Chains A and B, each alone.
Chain A
Amino acid sequence: MNLSQIVQYGLAGITVGSIYAITAIGFNIIYATTGVINFAQGEFLIVGAMTAISLSRIAPLPVAILGAVLITTVLGGLIEIVFIRPVKHASVLRLIVITIGLSILIREAMLHVWDEKVRSLPYFTGTPVSTVTILGAHISPQILWVLGVSAVIVVALTLFFRFTRTGRAMRACSDDRMAARLCGINDRWMVTLSFMLSAGIGAFAGCVISPVTQTQYDMGAPLAIKGFTVAIVGGLGNSMGAVAAGLFLGLLEALVMSQFATAYKDVVAIVVLLLILIFRPSGLFTRSDVSALRTV
């Protein structure tokens, strides 16, 4: 393999890796505030993309995307208020099962609202055939958008959680909810806010990747599975870790693909997930604090 082939594989890896990374970011917000892994996160991406596609017929693209993000944000909040908040004595497991049920319901609702056809948003810059050349290899400019948007979101989130009062309040809730409440933080609204934030970011992510992956009503679940695999590998709650883990997994898959039959590519992610869960559940990029995660 010459250099340009290697770089091309690398770019292919970064392409899928960026998709995984941007999906994973949303998981961390809800996890950070409530400890729940939101299986419906993938659906937020698809709802956002589908809404944007519908809106783009009556409005220019940036307006459509903004509208879709707002609508999905509100949807995320409503879902939390209707389905998550009323659950008393909520064990983390019960909430996870609820999010699984939610992902199914949202998916079926999307089927009935939008039907089964495949759609996509137009490319943000350029056309389906435009390409950027790097070191003799080629990549679509939309992927650069995905990477760019991921970076911006991660930076914004880091600043939000560290420097704003609301962000710090949300982190307080995840550390110790009772203590946070005693400090006067309205923990129930923090949870709602975390869902809204995850939904909005998910919707934006869905819009950005839509030209690349195309959008179909049942794409939420596979995206979610890859997304939380990456989130766990990077360390739950660690957004930068999620991006790093996403790119890592994408490159790993590209490596496997270059040497073996493509059919084994999908097993890579699952095997990595299982290995991480068994040997280093806190993730590759987070300090290990294992006792909370294992039993005797």
Chain B
Amino acid sequence: MRTRVAAILVVSVVVLGLVLSPGCKKSPTGTAPEAAAAEPIKVGAILAVTGPASFLGAPEKKTLEMFVEQINQAGGASGHKIELLIKDSGAKPENAISMAKQLIDEEKVLAIIGPSTSGETMAIKNICEEGKTILLSCAAAETIVNPVANQVFKTPQKDSDAARRIFEVMKDAGITKIGVITSNAGFGIAGGQQLQKLAPEYGVTIAISETYDKQETDLTGVLTKLKGAEVEAVVNWSIVPAQSLVAKNMRQIALDVPLFQSHGFGNIKYVEAGGEAANGTIFPCGRLLVADVLPDGHPQKKVLVKYKNDYESRYKEDASTFGGHAYDALLILTEAIKKAGSVEPEQVREAIENLQGVVGTGGVFNFSAQDHNGLDKDAFEVLTVKDGKFVVYEP
């Protein structure tokens, strides 16, 4: 018994030693730093590539890898090649915490892009603030930038702005009584709160508001409840797969009122999944999905069309607005490096706060010391679905 325990302890020390030896460090993607004029910079990314938020993390990872390659081929960010370190957190906050500490303490990265979800971002917000590392989150919650932490920024548009755009359409259309259903994921809950808060401003009454499980396989029950309340429109705030489900179920139980969705509806696949039920859905969204039909003079058109074409030709799948958030994050970082003229963390951070007019996929960013998101209502375009395609909504 004693010898066995001793053997266990020896094995443990040996194994730990092997694991911790420098040769074992994992350095995934990213181009190897070459002997360039300026030294390479490390950029970390914590993304939910697998797990329940993979529809966010997978396109974000692909986008970053593609964008970093493009930047490095063009000589790097102001001459500095970028070494991209992507960590898959699986949408688990405890993994995000551990990986954030790795990136900050061990790899000493200049900035971290991500995480993909709000829960993870809130878990590492304080860590990045105290670790004096820039965090460019791809998650949507307002609490990420409120209260403002010096180091923490986010690229997705505000939920409140999305709600405002929805209510504006409703006010124009004379809709006053609505039903709201949200998923129980962070995104859904946050959206529901914004809808509750802002409805009175536009003369809209929320007659009934319900939350369903994000993994729900059928929503006819909830929608029956809404039907009973005789609502004039339904607002659904969720992500896939519920979005397509709502559209279909509404028509199946003959709840024939307008359906509004959130900016989570940002992928043509959700329209395909909904079939003809998806026609007529109204939702605010970044302009990526209608990039081709934007007027040529539109400030965002060039960036959007290039990103969309690059992504779709390289990965053979439709571009989504989620990948765009990661694109914007890296874009903001490189613009800040350019503006600051250095890669010194504090100078870059300050430069971000002073960035104005950065044209990204989510909108045109204007930062300040109080506004670490940089987007307003106009970042959204109200879209609708016609004959299975995204078009700009016209009342």
Contact = CB atoms under 8 A, between A and B. Distances in A.
B210 interface: yes
Contacts of B222: 257, 262
With most chain B CB atoms within 10 A of its CB, the pick from A15, A16, A111, A129 is A129
Interface string A257-268: 110011101100
B96 to A, nearest CB: 19
Contact of A1 (B228, B244, B276): B228
Contacts of A5: 224, 227-228
Given A129-B252, A131-B252, A131-B253, A214 B215 contact: no
Contact of A12 (B50, B217, B220, B275): B220
Contacts of A1: 228
Contact of B225 (A216, A222, A258): A258
A128 interface: yes
Contacts of B58: 115-116
Interface residues of A, number: 45
Interface stretch (A90-98, A132-140, A147-155, A274-282): A132-140
A140 B274 CA distance: 14
Contacts of B248: 128-129, 140
B218 A213 contact: yes
Contacts of A12: 218, 220-221, 224, 253
B292 interface: no
B240 interface: yes
B174 interface: no
Interface in B214-269: 215, 217-218, 220-222, 224-225, 227-228, 240-241, 244-245, 247-248, 251-254, 269
B78 interface: no
B52 interface: yes
A191 interface: no
Given A128-B274, A212-B217, A262-B210, A118 B240 contact: yes
A140 B228 CA distance: 19
Nearest to A129: B251
Contact of A118 (B228, B253, B273): B273
Contacts of A213: 217-218, 245
Given A9-B224, A214-B273, A262-B211, A138 B218 contact: no
Given A117-B269, A214-B245, A19 B228 contact: no
A119 B240 CA distance: 11
B375 to A, nearest CB: 27
Contacts of B184: 263
Contacts of B210: 261-263
Contacts of B52: 218
B224 A8 contact: yes
Contacts of B245: 213-214
Given A117-B55, A127-B275, A16 B217 contact: yes
A138 to B, nearest CB: 5
Nearest to B184: A263
A192 B181 CA distance: 45
Contact of B218 (A15, A111, A222): A15
B244 A9 contact: no
A11 interface: yes
Contacts of B273: 118-120, 214
A212 B244 CA distance: 10
Given A111-B50, A116-B55, A129-B251, A257 B225 contact: yes
B277 interface: yes
Interface residues of B, number: 38
A23 to B, nearest CB: 10
A262 B212 contact: yes
A254 interface: yes
Interface in A1-26: 1, 5, 8-9, 11-13, 15-16, 19
A187 interface: no
B225 A138 contact: no
A219 interface: yes
Interface string B55-69: 100100000000000
A80 interface: no
B221 A128 contact: no
B181 to A, nearest CB: 8
A5 B220 CA distance: 12
A253 interface: yes
A266 B276 contact: no
Given A118-B240, A262-B211, A137 B253 contact: yes
Contacts of A219: 215, 217
With most chain A CB atoms within 10 A of its CB, the pick from B212, B218, B228, B277 is B218
Nearest to B317: A117
A15 B269 CA distance: 25
A216 B241 contact: yes
B54 interface: yes
Contacts of A120: 273
Contacts of A129: 248, 251-252, 275-277
Contacts of B105: none
Contacts of B181: 262
Contacts of B39: none
Contacts of B270: 118
Given A8-B227, A118-B269, A128-B251, A262 B221 contact: yes
A266 B270 CA distance: 25
Given A214-B244, A261-B210, A128 B269 contact: no
16 contacts: A5-B224, A8-B253, A11-B253, A12-B218, A19-B217, A118-B244, A118-B269, A119-B273, A131-B251, A138-B252, A213-B245, A214-B217, A214-B273, A216-B241, A254-B224, A265-B213
Interface of B: 50, 52, 54-55, 58, 181, 184, 210-213, 215, 217-218, 220-222, 224-225, 227-228, 240-241, 244-245, 247-248, 251-254, 269-270, 273-277
Given A111-B54, A118-B270, 12 more contacts: A15-B221, A19-B218, A118-B240, A127-B276, A129-B248, A129-B276, A130-B252, A214-B217, A214-B273, A216-B241, A262-B211, A265-B221
6 tightest Cβ-Cβ pairs between the two chains A and B: A213-B217, A128-B275, A116-B54, A129-B251, A12-B221, A140-B252
